[in-house]
Homo-oligomer: A and B are copies of this chain.
Amino acid sequence: MPFIPHTQDDTDSMLRAIGVNDIDELFDEIPDSLRCTELHGIPEALSEGGVSRLMRQRAKQDEVELNFLGAGAYEHHIPAAVWELTTRGEFYSSYTPYQAEASQGTLQVIYEYQTMMASLTGLEVSNASLYDGASALAEAILMAVRVNRGSHSRRILLPRSLHPHYRTVVRTITSSQGIETVDLPYEPNSGRTDLDALDRHADGDITALIIPQPNFFGVLEDVDALSDWALDHGALGIAVVNPMALGLLRPPGNWGRKGVPIACGEGQPLGVPLSSGGAYFGFLTCREGLVRQLPGRLVGRTLDADGRTGFTLTLQAREQHIRRSRATSNICTNQGLMVTAATIFMSLLGPEGLRRIAALCHARTELLVEAVAAVDGVEIVFPVPRFHEVAIRLPVPVNGVLERMRESGVLGGVCLGPWYSDLDNTLLVCATETKTEEDIETYAGMLRAAIEASGEGL
């Protein structure tokens, strides 16, 4: 029996010890009328070899040659050591470190992770992870509502330049608590949040202002102006940042005159494979003074009975298993394994490695911008400083172009039209350090050919 070790002898002697005749008797408290008869819909078991073959065939179907997609999930090279270590059984198959003495490995990893994330974002405290970037933002907003005692509106300014999926997730998670999200438009020429539009809220009671950096279009926002605006108007600034970009860019803790008090984002770029969208991890960091409103787990360093250093979960009174209906969040299981991977990833790269990769991502995208700008009819929608993504407008419908590129094994970009009616025929394209100069030439060449072919097709 796969994974079940009982021999007939074992079962018999256990039944005898219990004092029943068969296993079924153990279910005798369940009303007969509830007992189901058969599992239609579950196929017969396959051996491991059989399942392996099936899964290899399925996975193979989905392989592509080159992927220029970004939009919230980024392809980076992940050092082999990261996942060889992360999937060690002792990390992979352990539970949440509630029994601290038997979980010092995981606990120390998280403590190290907290240190790295706090420093990367320029803040003081990091929790032990949330589900993903989008839900981390939702939690950050709930936290801001609890923290910002001066504001009573529960009104949150949400830039349209933020990832559209993040915007819907925020609404799904926060709306039933009476939180109102207000859209902030972006400047059509720069893709940056429109500061004039922002100023129209100057007299309103705003609980928090969300500040993405880079924003969904890859564009770098004027984070100083935005965070100072929040500071000046009694709103909490909440940064939504790409941690890879922070290898290069000024961290939220240093934005504007005083920095923003809360930062969050998607941790995937730090050593987590694209893996079809998950498991990733959300990170959330804040100023020390806000720690008691932080959602999620937190690891602290302390001493053991012999006075030796050790690590343990701390401030658990914020959490659901203690505080129940008054907890800071309902989160329990988080994304521990991804945190382990990210910690190892950052340890392997160090500050200089992270900076270089971030710089390379940026440089590659600039190269891409140059190459596609030279393609007839292609327009760079936002010609302003960016990190590693760019929105490009094509002279022909995007779907045909993408399909042609895909036939050559290249994923050419994400269509912005479905999210932004003003960005029709526009692709969001990303080139990370994994793309070589030849890849970028290949891309531009294919784009040119596909546009020409589409033009002819018209």
| Cβ-based interface call for A79 (8 A) | yes
Q: A48-B79, A49-B433, A84-B89 are in contact. List 5 more A-B contacts (CB 8 A).
A: A47-B77, A48-B77, A49-B77, A52-B77, A88-B88
Task: List 11 A–B pairs whose Cβ atoms lie within 8 Å, in order of A's numbering.
Answer: A47-B77, A48-B77, A48-B80, A49-B77, A49-B434, A52-B77, A52-B80, A53-B434, A84-B87, A84-B89, A88-B88
Q: Please, how many angstroms separate the alpha-carbon atoms of A53 and B65 in the complex?
A: 11
What are the residues of chain B within 8 A of A52 when measuring CB–CB?
A: 77, 80
What are the residues of chain B within 8 A of A434 when measuring CB–CB?
A: 49, 53
In this complex, what residue of B is CB-closest to A79?
Answer: B48
In this complex, what residue of B is CB-closest to A48?
Answer: B79
What are the residues of chain B within 8 A of A79 when measuring CB–CB?
A: 48
Taking Cβ atoms with an 8 Å cutoff, the residues of A that contact B are 47-49, 52-53, 77, 79-80, 84, 87-89, 433-434
Central interface residue in A47, A49, A79, A80, by most chain B CB within 10 Å? A49
What are the residues of chain B within 8 A of A433 when measuring CB–CB?
A: 49
Q: Please, how many angstroms separate the alpha-carbon atoms of A433 and B88 in the complex?
A: 30
What are the residues of chain B within 8 A of A87 when measuring CB–CB?
A: 84
Q: Please, how many angstroms separate the alpha-carbon atoms of A77 and B54 in the complex?
A: 13
In this complex, what residue of B is CB-closest to A434?
Answer: B49
Q: How far is the CB of A229 from chain B (nearest CB, A)?
A: 40
Q: Please, how many angstroms separate the alpha-carbon atoms of A87 and B84 in the complex?
A: 9
Q: How far is the CB of A281 from chain B (nearest CB, A)?
A: 22
Q: How far is the CB of A201 from chain B (nearest CB, A)?
A: 44
Q: Please, how many angstroms separate the alpha-carbon atoms of A87 and B48 in the complex?
A: 20
Q: Please, how many angstroms separate the alpha-carbon atoms of A77 and B434 in the complex?
A: 33
What are the residues of chain B within 8 A of A77 when measuring CB–CB?
A: 47-49, 52
Q: Please, how many angstroms separate the alpha-carbon atoms of A434 and B50 in the complex?
A: 8
In this complex, what residue of B is CB-closest to A57?
Answer: B65
What are the residues of chain B within 8 A of A53 when measuring CB–CB?
A: 434
What are the residues of chain B within 8 A of A49 when measuring CB–CB?
A: 77, 433-434
Q: Please, how many angstroms separate the alpha-carbon atoms of A80 and B433 in the complex?
A: 32
Q: Please, how many angstroms separate the alpha-carbon atoms of A21 and B80 in the complex?
A: 37
Q: How far is the CB of A159 from chain B (nearest CB, A)?
A: 33
Q: Please, how many angstroms separate the alpha-carbon atoms of A433 and B47 in the complex?
A: 11
Q: Please, how many angstroms separate the alpha-carbon atoms of A434 and B53 in the complex?
A: 9
Q: Please, how many angstroms separate the alpha-carbon atoms of A247 and B79 in the complex?
A: 40
In this complex, what residue of B is CB-closest to A60?
Answer: B63
What are the residues of chain B within 8 A of A80 when measuring CB–CB?
A: 48, 52
Q: How far is the CB of A121 from chain B (nearest CB, A)?
A: 26
Q: Please, how many angstroms separate the alpha-carbon atoms of A21 and B87 in the complex?
A: 45
In this complex, what residue of B is CB-closest to A80?
Answer: B48
Q: Please, how many angstroms separate the alpha-carbon atoms of A52 and B76 in the complex?
A: 12
What are the residues of chain B within 8 A of A89 when measuring CB–CB?
A: 84
Q: Please, how many angstroms separate the alpha-carbon atoms of A48 and B49 in the complex?
A: 31
Q: How far is the CB of A55 from chain B (nearest CB, A)?
A: 11
Q: Please, how many angstroms separate the alpha-carbon atoms of A80 and B92 in the complex?
A: 15
